[in-house]
Amino acid sequence: MTNYRLLNKYITEEIDPNAVYVLSLSYGKDSLACLGAIEKLGLPLHRIVHAEVWATDTIPADLPPMVDFKAKADEIIERRWGIKVEHICATKKICGGGSTKTLLRTDVLQCA
């Protein structure tokens, strides 16, 4: 048995058929490689989410080349895996003590 088959056998014994399996995507090499591993191992994947960081309410913290990369990667992911990447961001900021903290809430906003 190959290592992939052994790993798949171990993992599939733990899969809950009632669970929703979500990949948190950072667009780094490791999270992108997870997509390939999930596919190769035949594991379930229902949603892909990415937590966006914004410099202001209208300006993303990512530089333009990264914004373009994410858009291209999203197209490839949707075409290959049939899952649309959900871009989420914080909906509430709290200020105090000279610093600003951004809170992620359960009612996250779908980013533009």
CA angle 36, 37, 43 (to 5 degrees): 110
Which residue's entry shows tokens 């390939």? 36
Look at residues 65, 71, 100, 101 and name the one whose alpha carbon lies nearest to residue 87.
Answer: 71
Which tokens sit at 94?
């709290």
CA atoms within 13 A of residue 68's CA, in its CB half-sphere: 3
Per-residue pLDDT of the chain (112 residues; tens, 9 = 90+): 456 666 666 666 777 888 899 999 999 999 999 999 899 888 899 999 999 888 777 788 899 999 999 999 999 999 999 999 999 886 665 555 555 554 444 344 445 4
Question: In order of start, what are the domains of the chain with their CATH numbers?
Answer: 3-110 (3.40.50)
Which tokens sit at 47?
């949603």
- Find all residues with CB under 8 Å of 102, minimum gap 6, and list them: 90, 92, 93
Q: Distance between CA atoms of 69 and 109, rounded to whole angstroms?
A: 22
Q: What is the pTM of this model?
A: 0.72
